Structure 1
């Protein structure tokens, strides 16, 4: 069991960084420094830590930048980050002996995939009479508290989750920054050679394409970059709040501007989720003192919590079979269609632009994620959502085991609910036009179409031959023809989903949206004259 914090001032503490790669708002680090005489910060590449098992070039680059920044920030305090490679239990057994450690502190990793690792290390600590300290700061709430408040099981809808969090109460505010001034911080004279952050080359990570080496936009990792980005993001949110807008960057996304999302930093913990949550609330309150803060101000952060809680105690959460909250659907398996989708060669410029940005930069806006996920699964290709999850899990900077899988189940209708099985789906033409009204985004990532007139840009197969010649882009030669007739494909998928609905008429536990407004909010569809910009393609033709 976790022991009480020792009152002795002679503790030798090792802090184990995994997620939570920051110094600010780090309660386990803070407690590790209490009554501490000597301190060692450690990171271990064990083949899986922080999602490295499935990470591609961009995410590994971001992680290494984050670790270097952490090392630099520790250096300013007089310490350094000790980086090791191997199995945590073996490494800690040796470090406990070499450093005479009496205490190990670490942030809680709540997802089930980390429990065996953490339990094995806790067992080692108990066997070696080393105190261990585990604290919650990767989430707003301790997920086990949420589950207990809901009777022992996760809330199956977002609305239910919000009701439970109201009972639990607001999450804690961030803790103060750590004070290293009274602690000895040993550093080897040969630290960089023995314990330095490795390079991509040393880890065997290489770029898959030239564009990954010099992308249009690149997120930079680290707590320092996260802090600067937070300031810019709060300024933008404050402006939106003053105009009566909430989540302005979501409803009106700037797809070609500088990266503004903080999700990669939340994923690695270089920014505290609690710091962002309270910064948003406080920014709103400063503008509207005395007014209650709308839940929409922090709703995207609450969605993250919701998916995390859904995954607790469910090791099969990221797969379809043996997953108690996911429907088993007879998806197609078509490697050729899957490859075209992954490579951004579907023949639908909006979809292709999204997928190419994903591969090149490791990030796409949420509106892009919903569009390509719908296209691959229930909307048009009827391909297994797990294949899409594997792609996202490889390329996305912010690919998160719980959130990523939850979103794929939700959008693919494996989260069974009538709203998502309605005739409408995310149109690869209309939705693209709405999100990219000037065509700048599509032209950037699908340069074959850079000269295509705007009225044909999202449907280039409709362009007359003379227009294609003038645009120096012949459809079927320079840019692919549509891989499916989206009008026909969507109707076929609708019929398949109706059969699924018939198969699961009983109440089957699953992740589910509460109502249509919640769907529209999550996918950022504005209602216009009582209608959304989702469609059933009944009035569209390919020619």
Structure 2
């Protein structure tokens, strides 16, 4: 670099794969210095800090590859490039900064313990090298430090937590994506294909490709179309047979859209159309649940490994591998459960109501440790979030924050009949039952042999009989929970 040339500034992209409302990129671009935009695929740092961090699951790896391509394309339209590196992020960024004689490194903070630990390591290395670093806030609506008890702890009940967030008012205003970026040319980059994020043999990602458009533009379009169809969301969101939810969760997970963007777009919709105000409030409370789960990680970074309520450490989980495998493959004999698990396998996502049903079935009907279900979701969900995934599983199991009461055991038949009354969701994902009348589709075993024959269903043949009887499973679960309470 020529002596008179301005020193470059590095922007470290993390789980914030977007250009709009990106504080680190915004501030770095405002310096006028040439930019180096970098993403580091870091699996090694996670291995150094178990159980606080885990490598991405297979479905999330697929999403990451598509998201990086989309971000690279967006940068190219602004005259920039995305530099890819692999290895420990702190070491990789610090080394690059020294090689380029960078003036500063900017990044957005991710409020998760192992993410912060890596950022702390980088900050220390840059300070030693005499390179400035700037940490920005853009991952959450509210900083965890702003939502604490008098004793300095985070809140563990959602309703008062969300009230506190709402009392803070609107988050900082949105930042526009830079129209043009001044870059430092000829910085070496890895080839994305060399990271092998996508499956090849076998290529099981066909369903993901059919289901999703990935990237910042897709996230923005999805938010817009969802808000256009918002009326009725507060009740329709529980219906898996309808397209009533936002499906923004994977876009939020990888930061293709920020929670602030969602917040302001929803608030604008409510101001423009007062009739949807209740639907907006419900939708924003779902965004608030994501926030709540992320805040839990501040005090409980091992949320995916340890019961939030220690009393559950002695819970008598079973080790039924056969039942676990049947659940994973959507072969439990309960149509709403099987439909959800097959939707997950095909599309990398599952309707939120059905997630609660299938999770309850695993931990209560089958008495299988919630951590095994959480691990399966971590590998198969494209929206597997380090906060929401374990927090939701602990909520269902009864061992988490603001958890469901132990005596709440979802009846999969009644849940199906209430939220998929015509059986359309089941028919889509369990084609063996496509000809089953609505009155039998959620409990095919109640049909007579003649009625079953007319629909082509053979229980125990082309569709399994229930692997556990509901009343017996519920009674066993309640007995186990009652003993735990007695202890």
> Equivalents in 2 of 1:253, 1:336: separation in Å?
27
Change beyond 3 A, Cα 1:418–1:159? closer
Among 245, 250, 260, the alignment partner of 2:237 is 250
Match of 1:33, SS?
helix
Greater helix share, structure number: 2
Match of 2:66, SS?
helix
> Equivalents in 1 of 2:92, 2:209: separation in Å?
40
> Equivalents in 2 of 1:428, 1:278: separation in Å?
37
User: What is residue 447 of structure 1 aligned with on the other side?
Assistant: 431
Change beyond 3 A, Cα 1:326–1:24? farther
Among 403, 419, 425, the alignment partner of 2:388 is 403
> Equivalents in 1 of 2:286, 2:354: separation in Å?
16
Shift of 1:166: 4.3
Query: In the TM superposition, what are the counterparts of 1:124-523 in structure 2 within 5 Å?
Result: 124-147=125-148, 150-180=150-180, 184-188=182-186, 195=189, 198-199=192-193, 202-203=195-196, 205-206=198-199, 212-214=205-207, 218-237=211-230, 240=231, 245-247=232-234, 249-255=236-242, 257=243, 260-288=246-274, 295-320=281-306, 323=308, 327-328=312-313, 329-378=315-364, 380-415=365-400, 420-422=405-407, 424-503=408-487
Among 39, 44, 47, the alignment partner of 1:43 is 39
Residues 76-104 of structure 1: per-residue CA shift (max 9 Å, x gap): 11001001111223322331233221111
Contact 1:209 1:360 (C-alpha < 8 Å) held by counterparts: no
User: What is residue 536 of structure 1 aligned with on the other side?
Assistant: none
Query: RMSD of the TM alignment (CA)?
Result: 2.8
TM-score of the pair, normalised by structure 1: 0.81
> Equivalents in 1 of 2:403, 2:84: separation in Å?
49
Shift of 1:454: 2.6
| Greater mean deviation of Cα atoms: 98-107 or 452-461 | 452-461
Change beyond 3 A, Cα 1:31–1:287? same
- Where in structure 2 are there 5+ consecutive unaligned residues? 47-52
Change beyond 3 A, Cα 1:179–1:48? farther
| Greater mean deviation of Cα atoms: 405-414 or 166-175 | 166-175
> Equivalents in 2 of 1:325, 1:140: separation in Å?
30
Shift of 1:155: 0.8
> Equivalents in 1 of 2:60, 2:334: separation in Å?
27
User: What is residue 76 of structure 2 aligned with on the other side?
Assistant: 75
User: What is residue 532 of structure 1 aligned with on the other side?
Assistant: none
Residues 39-78 of structure 1: per-residue CA shift (max 9 Å, x gap): 010001112799881311x322221111111111100110
Contact 1:217 1:259 (C-alpha < 8 Å) held by counterparts: no
User: What is residue 529 of structure 1 aligned with on the other side?
Assistant: none
> Equivalents in 2 of 1:166, 1:437: separation in Å?
36
TM-score of the pair, normalised by structure 2: 0.90
Change beyond 3 A, Cα 1:327–1:177? same
Aligned residues: 476
> Equivalents in 1 of 2:392, 2:207: separation in Å?
29
Contact 2:423 2:438 (C-alpha < 8 Å) held by counterparts: yes
> Equivalents in 2 of 1:312, 1:444: separation in Å?
40
Change beyond 3 A, Cα 1:468–1:226? same
> Equivalents in 1 of 2:84, 2:129: separation in Å?
22
Contact 1:357 1:364 (C-alpha < 8 Å) held by counterparts: yes
Contact 1:13 1:38 (C-alpha < 8 Å) held by counterparts: yes
